[in-house]
Amino acid sequence: MKDYQIRKVLVDSRINNHSLVDTILSRIGGAEVKLLHPLEDISDLSGSSFEETKKTLFLTLLEGDFVKRCPGTGPGYLCCGYRIINQQINCPLDCSYCILQDYLGPTPLIVYVNLDSLKSELENYLQRHRGRILRIGTGELADSLALDYLGDFSTFFASLFSARHRHIFEFKTKTDRIENLLSVSPGNNIVVSWSLNPKPVIEKEENLTSSLEERLKAAYLLQEKGFWLGFHFDPVIFYSDWEDDYEKLIDNLFSFIDHSRVLWISFGALRFPLSLKKIIQRRFPDSRIVYEEMIRGLDGKFRYIKPLRIRMFRRIYKAVRERAPQVFCYFCMESPDVWERIMGFSPSSSAHLEHMFEQYLANKLGS
């Protein structure tokens, strides 16, 4: 991950003496620290730029629910029933296509420090779903590891899930911040996954993230340590050399990684709402990704036309399958007929996809 500096820390005055706050502040050098009182809010930052808010950290308490279902997308596309833990909100990385720009707007990086509440809520939640194999992760509204150095959150989650064999926890990242994970005992239900794209895409669109080599090296180290791995080819991006570059990427991946240690691989093509398109055009004027031939999909988001998605997925899926024949592959927010064309079958519904996933994991992990 590229150098990155937090410039300002806002601390909710209710947690001024919280030990985790002390830890976090001691690990941030040179940032301005400001106490915020409960009735004050962070709306004075609403006029700020993304560049400013991405360097501002807000430490506070979450008084609502931490655990939620992944919102997925509109009807017409299949979703996998993933669960998310929102312990952190927003991401210091700066990918041009990131949906959080639109979903959250220019918001500071928020870290909720009431991990005790999270723990008890999560225990209740998992207890209620004890018969199920759930996949749950922190990488939906944040990068799971980008801010790990501040509070050792990965250690917290790994230990929380260590006794929960039927519930699979996923750290999803574009960084190589694995120092904490390397010192954790890898449970059979902990997956560390990386979002992957060819080098030119990473260099042009995924600002501040770790390079492909760094990500693959980190994955290799954790594989050696005994962790399960996951990979997300999402968003797949169309550009002139995509075919060769994705092929090379997959070759590269499996030259580092033992496919038998990969628990899942997902595919999803670039998609974004109109509001995000405008943000990308304004914030990343050199990016060309929004100018390809795209239509408004059934969920209102811009997507590549289906024949192009089919062509891209087929090529990438084939390359993956040749090297990892047993890995569970799935599409994120894709339509049943695309599944059918690529994989030769389609789940009949999102619930069916979730069930297929559970069955696969039960067999694979022997739960």
Partner 1 sequence: MRFPKKLQYVPLNLIDSEDRFFCLFEGKISGNNMLKKSATKMGIIEPLVLQEREKKYRIINGLERFFIARDLKLTSVPAYILKDELSSQELLTVILFAHPRPFSLAEKAKFLRIAVSLGMKPEEIIREFGPSLGINSPQLLEAYLSLLEYSPSLLSYISTRGFSLHQALCFQDLSEKEQDLLLKLTISLNFKGYDMYLIITNLKEIAIREGKTVFEEINSMCLNDILNDQRYTRSQKMHKVKEIIYRRRYPALSRINEKLKKLKKGLKFSSPVKVSWDRKLEKAGLWLSLQITDPSELKQVAEELTGAEKVTKISKMLDIYYEGLSDKEGSG
- Please provide residue 174's backbone torsions phi and psi, each rounded to the nearest 5 degrees: -125, 20
Quote the tokens at residue 145. Answer: 């590891």
Min dist. Cβ of residue 230 to partner 1 (A): 28
Q: Which stretch binds partner 1 (CB under 8 A): 94-102, 111-119, 187-195, 289-297?
A: 289-297
Quote the tokens at residue 24. Answer: 């976090």
Total of residues contacting partner 1 (CB under 8 A): 27
Q: Which is nearer to partner 1, 231 or 242 (CB)?
A: 242
Interaction with partner 1 in 320-339: which residues (CB under 8 A)?
335-337
* Residue 296 binds to partner 1 (criterion: CB under 8 A): yes
* Residue 235 binds to partner 1 (criterion: CB under 8 A): no
CA distance 246 to 221: 23
Interaction with partner 1 in 300-319: which residues (CB under 8 A)?
303, 305-308, 310-312
Could you identify the residue written with the tokens 């927003």?
Answer: 90
Q: Residues 81, 186, 230, 297: which binds partner 1 (CB under 8 A)? A: 297
Q: Which is nearer to partner 1, 167 or 271 (CB)?
A: 271
* Residue 76 binds to partner 1 (criterion: CB under 8 A): yes
CB 115 within 8 A of CB 156: yes
Ramachandran quadrant class, 30 (left: phi over 0; alpha: psi -120 to 50; beta: rest): left
Task: Cite the DSSP H helix spans in the chain.
Answer: 19-27, 50-53, 100-103, 115-128, 148-151, 153-161, 179-182, 199-205, 212-225, 242-256, 274-283, 306-323, 336-343, 350-365
Q: Residues 52, 121, 243, 247: which binds partner 1 (CB under 8 A)? A: 243
HSE, side-chain direction, 13 A CA sphere, residue 198: 17
Q: Which stretch binds partner 1 (CB under 8 A): 204-212, 265-273, 285-293, 317-325?
A: 285-293
Min dist. Cβ of residue 298 to partner 1 (A): 6
Residues that bind partner 1 (CB under 8 A): 76, 238-243, 288, 291-293, 295-298, 303, 305-308, 310-312, 335-337, 341
